[in-house]
Chains A and B, each alone.
Chain A
Amino acid sequence: MHYEQFLFTRNQRQDFTAFVRPTSLTNKQVSAIGGIFNYVTDISRLTAQFPSLYCFPLGDYLLLLRHYNSGRQHAGRAIGVIEGIAVSQSDATAFASALSTFVADQTTLLNVSASIDDIESQPNQPSHDLEWRGSTPRKPTEAFVAEFLDRRDQDRLLLPFSKKGRSLLLNILADRRFTLAPFFAFGTNGDVLAQLEQHAKIDVAAFFTTDRPAFHSRATNRQTGVIAGYEPEAPTPDPSMSLRNQQIDEMSLRARPQSPVTSGDEVDEADSLSGMSLRQMRPPQHLRAVEPAAEPEDDQPEARVLTMRQMRDRIRAEEAALENQPDEAEASRPRDPIHWLIDAIASLFSPRQSK
């Protein structure tokens, strides 16, 4: 099986960048990957040893990737790494048979960063064409895999994001009944899944909140069956949910600001205000409250920020003032009869000046 590698991350100089990329992966597709993983807002729990793992098609390729916290930081923020392999869709069968090996040995086979000496000086480069000659050992067939195969069109399999969950995923991937690779998002959230589903139907997902392996309807997301023999696990909680305790939910996070008091200083505009009401039931008196209370203007008028029309009016007023100003030289010129006569004669011979 021929494959290429990719490495998307950032360094101190460059934002999200494709440092290594498959030759046929377009800029648009790189942006699409950035857009998808934008919805993972917390990468602190994702390590190189236990990263999120994804398999999905994009353009000409089938991608297998891992996503984790690099341990590097930029301006105090954790930098993520997205790296893995891309296989041409024409090699889909070979990809399916090699998939479980790549997932099981992800720390070496998907570890593209390991080939980079220094990410800070790494140029952007296309991937080499690599060849996989390894073999995938057979695994005993698990009963739940047959059920998954039967239900796959209607249901998605949800797994916990845990070692046990990953072991179940490996069982599925090693099963030879899959001639084409099932697509999966192991260690993800609903937003990312929604983005991925724009590219392909995802068969297996492990949300950070999944507590037991179970089948869920693709249409309704309701649980339609569980895999027997697995007790619910304590899920790795999504910080944003787990830390939101009841007390915080019950009270406003911030005191609601007081609305500005009606000034009542624009009575003449009551008619114009009535036009803006989209809620016709509101009494006119309430509508007048649409404008904030008049407040004293800035102490330094020159420091005031004007609106476009205010600025236009001021500039036009300045221009008009300039035009109306008498010519200083003319004003200072002596007005005795001799000079007046000279000026009058000169004006007869000189061209007319337009203002």
Chain B
Amino acid sequence: MSLKVTLFGGTGQGKTTYTLGLLYLMVEGIDGFRIEDEDVDTTTKYMKPWSDFVMVKQWPAPTMGRREDRFKLYFQDQFITDFLWVDYQGGAINQPTDESDAAAQLHADIQESNAVIVVADAYTIATRPLIEARMLTSAPLIFHLLNSYKFKPAEEGEEGLNNGISIAIVLTKADALPDEYKANDYEKLYAKARQVFHGIHDFVREERAKVSSLRPWLYPSAMLAVSIVGEGNAAVATEGEGYDLASFRLIGSPEPENIQYPFLYAIGNELDRNALTLEEEIGDLEQRLSRLDSNVLSRILRGRTIKQLQEERKETAARLKEMEPKIRTVTKTANKKMRPLLV
């Protein structure tokens, strides 16, 4: 089982720095979790700009395209899952697919992704008027992309499970927020983030209000305020205006805060989705076995005996049982830190 996690968001929102910080933390291990790269050079490549960031206090160069790397996630040295990490430049979301290959690739990646991590600048969300914050974080385009490829009912005959997606919104630069936005565990920030990402928020709300044929639990979504540099280690250099985003000066050594949780949330929920699929398979088999008479059953079984079917069910149940501790391991850690998009 391999999961695909795509990280994207508007330009200048902090995707590159977030990725570097996350890789730095996860390679060494945090909360018992650790990742290993499939290609041994991957970590080295990511660690170079992170090292420059820490030592020279220089923000990493903007991403110019798409990067794709394979990793394995471990908890206390035990394998949890493989995953493919796809990282995008911000511009990919703002360009039509016929004008940009990166944009076309992003659309394809979203379709194929199990989970997305949307990166948005908390400082912009907090300090800009709502409509500007929406534009600068590319929130409408993010919703448009998810809506086009993921927020659709399953085609006829499809189970529909694969049409769901886990959405983790990472609110970066939280350390620089005005105090009022930090108060009560970032209550005001989360409230405004819900307004900024109202497209996704409303989709989730409507789904949960049961006005659609889609099953609402297939679209778990949550957010978290994070800081890559840590409290007090960056100062506002210039305030943003128009298209110019605020810029920051690094004044202390970076101490990442909370950055692993959105990633673990995305992974944990997708493991849970797999378990959900297995549960439904088991439920479906049981239902058929109990409801149908033997003639109909034999037609449906297509030559398989009831014994074989029961063995199949047992095997699926065993796989599910095997997965459960892994799922709880990841979700217990991540979900208690994340904040729901919908309250």
Interaction A to B: yes
Chain A residues within CB distance 8 Å of chain B: 10, 12-17, 26-28, 30-31, 34-35, 37-44, 73-80, 124, 191, 238-241, 243-244, 252-254, 256-257, 259-260, 266, 269, 271-273, 275-279, 282, 287, 289-292, 294-295, 297-298, 302-309, 311-312, 315
B325/A273 in contact, CB under 8 A: yes
Which of B51, B91, B237, B244 sits near A17, CB closer than 8 Å? Answer: B91
- Judge whether B29 and A256 touch: CB under 8 Å: yes
Q: Whole-angstrom distance between the alpha carbons of A275 and B279 in the complex? A: 18
Cβ of B89 within 8 Å of any chain A Cβ, yes or no, is yes
Q: Which residues of B contact A278 (CB under 8 A)?
A: 78-79
Contact-residue bracket for chain B? 35 or more
| A276 and B78 within 8 A (CB) | yes
Which residue of B is nearest A258, CB measured?
B32
Q: Are the CB atoms of B65 and A276 closer together than 8 Å?
A: no
Check A244–B215 contact: CB distance below 8 A: no
Q: Is the CB of B12 within 8 A of A75?
A: yes
Does chain A have a CB within 8 A of B174? no
CB closest chain-A residue, reference B49: A41
Interface 9-residue window, one of B98-106, B143-151, B192-200, B286-294: B98-106
CB distance from B163 to the nearest CB of A (A): 13
**Bitwise interface map of B from 74 to 97 toward A, beta carbon under 8 Å scored 1, else 0:** 011111000000000111101100
| Residues on the B chain within 8 Å of A292, using CB | 31-32, 329, 332-333
Knowing A308-B217, A315-B208 are in contact, say whether A37-B104 is a contact too (CB < 8 A): no
Q: Give A75 to B58 CA distance when docked, in angstroms.
A: 12
B55 A272 Cβ-Cβ under 8 A: no
Interface centre among B28, B104, B265 (most CB of A within 10 A): B28
**Do residues A309 and B101 form an inter-chain contact, with CB atoms below 8 A?**
no
Is there contact, CB below 8 Å, between B336 and A76? no
B276 engages A308 (CB within 8 Å): yes
In whole Å, how far is B315's beta carbon from the nearest beta carbon of chain A? Answer: 12
Contact status B76-A290, CB under 8 Å: yes
Extra contacts besides A16-B62, A41-B61, A74-B62 (18): CB < 8 Å: A14-B11, A27-B99, A38-B63, A38-B64, A42-B49, A79-B62, A239-B51, A252-B28, A254-B28, A271-B321, A276-B78, A277-B78, A279-B77, A279-B78, A290-B75, A291-B332, A298-B336, A311-B216
B325 and A269 form a contact (CB under 8 A): yes
One digit per residue, 1 when the CB lies within 8 angstroms of any chain A CB and 0 when it does not, for chain B 235-250 equals 0011000111111110
Contact present for B51 and A76 (CB under 8 Å): no
Most A CB atoms within 10 A — which of B12, B24, B343? B12
Residue of A15, A191, A302, A305 near B11 (CB, 8 A) is A15
Query: Contact at A256–B28, with CB atoms within 8 Å?
Result: yes
* Residues on the A chain within 8 Å of B101, using CB: 26-28, 30-31
- Bound complex: CA A271 to CA B91 (Å): 49
Q: Can you list 22 residue pairs at the A/B interface with Cβ under 8 Å? A: A14-B11, A14-B95, A15-B89, A15-B91, A31-B101, A39-B45, A76-B248, A239-B56, A240-B48, A240-B51, A243-B55, A271-B321, A276-B325, A287-B78, A292-B32, A294-B332, A303-B343, A307-B268, A307-B272, A307-B327, A308-B220, A315-B208
Question: CB-defined interface of B326-343 with A at 8 Å, one 1/0 digit per residue?
Answer: 111101110110111001
Residue B30 is within 8 A (CB to CB) of chain A in the complex: yes
Interface residues of B (CB under 8 A from A): 11-12, 24-25, 28-32, 45, 47-49, 51-52, 54-56, 58-67, 75-79, 89-92, 94-95, 98-102, 104-105, 164, 208, 215-218, 220, 222, 237-238, 242-249, 265, 268-269, 272-273, 275-276, 279, 318, 321-329, 331-333, 335-336, 338-340, 343
- Decide if B217 touches A35 in the complex (CB within 8 Å): no
Known: A34-B65, A290-B75. A42 touches B58 (CB 8 A): yes
Task: Report Cα–Cα, A290/B94, bound state, in Å.
Answer: 42
Q: How far is the CA of A279 from the CA of B98 in the complex (A)?
A: 48
Determine whether the beta carbon of B31 is less than 8 Å from that of A308.
no
> A74 and B325: CB pair below 8 A?
no
Q: Which residues in A have their C-beta under 8 angstroms from that of B77?
A: 279
Q: Which residue of A lies closest to B224 (CB)?
A: A305
Of B66, B76, B91, B222, the contact of A259 (CB 8 Å cutoff): B76
Cβ contact within 8 Å between A78 and B332: no
Contact B12–A303 (Cβ < 8 Å): no
Contacting pair B31 A15 (CB below 8 A): no
Contact check, A191 vs B30: say whether CB atoms are below 8 A apart. no
The answer to whether B339 and A303 have CB atoms under 8 Å apart is yes
B92 to A275, Cβ gap below 8 A?
Answer: no
The CA of A303 and the CA of B343, in the complex, are separated in Å by 7
Tell me the nearest residue of chain A to B341, going by C-beta. A305
- Nearest residue, chain B, Cβ from A73: B247
In Å, the complex CA distance between A300 and B101 comes to 45
Q: How far is the CB of A108 from chain B (nearest CB, A)?
A: 26
Contact B45 A244 (CB under 8 A): no
A12 to B24, CA, bound (A): 29
Whether A16 touches B65, Cβ cut-off 8 Å, given contacts A76-B237, A307-B335, is yes
Given A12-B243, A243-B56, residue A42 in contact with residue B220 (CB < 8 A)? no
Question: Which residues of the partner chain B approach A259 to less than 8 Å between Cβ atoms?
Answer: 31-32, 76
A39 to B45 Cα, complex, angstroms? 8
Q: CA separation between A306 and B338, bound complex, in Å?
A: 10
Q: What 6 pairs between A and B have smallest CB-CB spacing?
A: A15-B91, A76-B247, A34-B65, A275-B322, A41-B49, A75-B12
CB atoms of A34 and B102 under 8 A apart: yes
Whether the pair A305, B265 counts as a contact (CB closer than 8 A) is yes
Bound Cα distance A139, B104 (Å): 48
Q: A75-B247, A77-B61, A312-B276 are in contact. Are A31 and B220 (CB under 8 A)?
A: no
Kindly report which residue of chain A lies nearest to residue B161, judged by CB atoms: A308
Residue contact A253 to B325, C-beta cutoff 8 Å? no
B58 touches A311 (CB 8 A): no
Q: Choose among A15, A17, A74, A277 the residue with the greatest number of B CB atoms under 10 Å from its CB.
A: A15
For A245, the closest partner residue in chain B by CB is: B55
Chain A residues whose C-beta falls within 8 Å of the C-beta of B90 in the assembled complex: 15
* Structural contact, B12 and A74, CB atoms closer than 8 A: yes
Known: A15-B94, A239-B52, A269-B325. A27 touches B65 (CB 8 A): no
Selected contact of A309 from candidates B24, B62, B94, B217, CB within 8 Å: B217
